[in-house]
Each structure stands twice: as C-alpha cells, then as structure tokens.
Amino acid sequence: MKKELLMASALVTTLGATSVAQAVTATMAGSMKVGAEFESADDSTTDSNQVHDQSNFNISLSETTDGGTTISTSFEIVDEGTVSADDDNAIKLTFTDGSALELLNAGNAAGTHVVAVPGAGGEQGVGGTTTNTAPGDVDFAAGSTALGVEWHSAADFLADGLKMSASFSTDNGAAKTATARLENSWGVGATYVTSAGDTAVTLGGGISGGEIATTGSQSSADKAGFNIGVSAVTGDLTIGLGYGDGDTFRPNAVGNDANEQTDGSVMKAGISYVTGDITLALGVSAGEGKDSDFGSTATTDDSTDSTSASVTYAVASGVSAVVGYTTVDAQNDGASSTDDGSAWYVGATMSF
C-alpha cells in the first residue's frame, strides 16, 4: 500500500509540474508532392510508370534559457506510400557566443560541411536489381551512430567567413553479430565563404573515419574518407562541384551473402539559373567503386554515371510545377547492368 501511495503522490506531483510549465516555441513547415514518373530501364527490364504521392510535415521546437542558451530539436513525419517518422534528430544547444553542441543523433562533421551542388528537380530515377555499389553522394564515407555529439564553432571562427565542426560517435554496446556494423566514428569539417567581385564563393569539406566490427571484434574493413566542394553564385546563376573518396561497407543484413567492403569515389557537378518564375537546372554525377567480401581483394569495377535536367515553374506562392529527366549508364562488376535507363517526371509541389 505504501508503494502505491508513493507512486500516486509522484504522479500527482509530475502532473502538477507539467500543468504550470510553459510550452516551447514551435514552428512548422511541410510540402505535398504529386506527380507521374515514366521509367525506361535497360532492354531486359519492362518499362514502367507510377504516380508519386509524397508529403512531409516538420516541427521545429526551440526555447532560450535565462542564461541565453537556446535549446532546440525537430522531428519530421514523411508519407511516401507508408507513414514514417524521422526521429534521427539531435538536441542542439546554441550558446551566446554563437557556438553550438548537438547531443545524440548528431551526425558526422564531414557530412555537415558538404557543399550543395545544384541538381535537377523532380522525383525521377532509374531502379535496378544489381549489386552495384558505386557511390552517389560525396559524403558516402561519413558514418555515425546514434550515440554521438557534434560541436559547431561560431561564425568567423579564426578567420572571417570560416566555420568548423567536429564530431564523435560510438555504438550502443550491444552484442555484435556476424552482420558488420559501425562501431565508432569521428569527423572534422569546415566551410569558408568569401567573395570575388560580384560572385559569392563557398568552399567546404571534411574528413572522417570509423571502425567496423563483426562478431565482437574489430574488422579489417573501415568506413573513412574525405569530401571537398566549391560553389559560386553570381546573381541568378549558381554553379557547383563536389568530390568524395573513401571506403564504406555493406552488411549481409541487406541480402548479401557476405559483408562487403567498397573502395569508391564520386564526382558531382551542377548548374542552375533563375529567370523570372522559371528555374533551369542541370546536374551530372559519376561514381566508381570496387566491392569485395571482407578480407578479399576486388578485381572489377562498378560505375554509375547519370545526367539530370529539370525546368521548374513558380505557379503561385508556395506552388511549383516541375518537369524532370534523368538518364543513367551503369556497369556492375565490369559488365552492363539493369541499373541503366532513363526516366521522366511531371508533377507539382505545394509547400508551406
């Protein structure tokens, strides 16, 4: 009886405290995308078409303490045929000097400073069934676990226009299995913004490292690499270039016969131009990778080369229409693969 009374007292006290607490400041944003994709894959695959119906809803929460420290986080609900919640969001503390610290789900600092490269709009893509492991993102080697922290410098750190960050993460201590997993990671990144006449120039990049473990022991495989990029904005014209190189892995949990290591690189370039209510965009990507079972040596290359273009028209405030096209040329283990093909997309997006 005594335990029940203590529990009831604690519950009442908690509810009472909750009732007088002030709510944090919340802001929301989201979008709804509806469009049709027409995909023409390689000769061995039947052409297909489908309707994309995608929505997302984002809530950002923030409050400032009496000492001036801002505490913030966010979450997102995404509906891409099935409803899911994105809970990989850190608690972020922003201090009065402009520096910040992210706690839990913080990510990798090498990925934080990836320079945005213009690319085509739309939801077009070419699906495939091969084991092609050529990377598509320049930060493919920057991994992290949920138990991580990331420190961000204030603006103009050490020099005007410079920002830096550093991160570290570790695993949850659960027993390892034969499925490879990231055991720990670190990353360092920086972004430098300057101007050259009427052109705003952004330079960014980072390096990262991580250890892979299987069955409780550190593996000879790893997840490590670097990325670097530059973008330039002159009026309505934006151009960008990014490059990433490193190692990553694919665990047997996704259907492979064995844990696989990939040594890869990727280059991305893009350009966009805004004229009135119309945005024209063009992007290219070229990725290469050699994959092999842990402990083996790869002898053949995977590759994926893609070119995408789009035209986006601002119909009204928050409403845009887009037509996009993508073509992909792929090689898997040195031979043509079912990842080849092209796709069109026609759709609209409403954002708030």
pLDDT at residue 190 greater than cutoff 60: yes
- Sequential DSSP letters for 51-87: EEEEEEEEEEEEEE-TTS-EEEEEEEEEESSSEEEE-
Residue 64 identity (one-letter amino acid): T
Higher per-residue pLDDT: 121 or 19: 121
pLDDT at residue 15 greater than cutoff 50: no
CA distance 169 to 104: 9
Q: pLDDT band for position 334 (50/70/90)?
A: low
Q: What is the pLDDT of residue 133?
A: 80
Residue 232 CB neighbour total at 10 angstroms: 16
Task: Give the N- to C-terminal CA distance of the chain in Å, as an integer.
Answer: 53
The mean per-residue pLDDT over the stretch 311-332 comes to 91
Mean pLDDT of the chain: 83
CA distance 202 to 192: 6
**Which pair of structure tokens corresponds to residue 16?**
């009472």
Higher per-residue pLDDT: 86 or 341: 341
Q: Which residues contact 42 (CB under 8 A, 6 or more apart)?
A: 336, 337, 338, 339, 340, 341
CB 151 within 8 A of CB 99: yes
Q: What is the pLDDT of residue 17?
A: 42
CB 50 within 8 A of CB 37: yes
Residue 295 CB neighbour total at 10 angstroms: 11
CB 142 within 8 A of CB 221: no
| 264-307 pLDDT, tens digit each | 999 999 999 999 999 999 999 999 988 887 777 766 788 889 99
Q: What is the pLDDT of residue 13?
A: 44
Q: What is the pLDDT of residue 296?
A: 73
CA distance 93 to 179: 35
CATH topology of domain 24-351: Porin (2.40.160)
Q: Which of 35-44, 84-93, 156-165, 316-325 has the lowest mean pLDDT?
A: 84-93
Nearest Cα neighbor of 31 from 70, 57, 59 is 57
The mean per-residue pLDDT over the stretch 90-103 comes to 92
Higher per-residue pLDDT: 346 or 251: 346
Give the DSSP H/E element, type plus range, for residue 126.
none
CA distance 67 to 79: 39
What percentage of the chain reaches a pLDDT higher than 70? 81
Q: What is the pLDDT of residue 27?
A: 92
Dihedral of the CA atoms 38, 39, 40, 45 (nearest 10)? Answer: -130
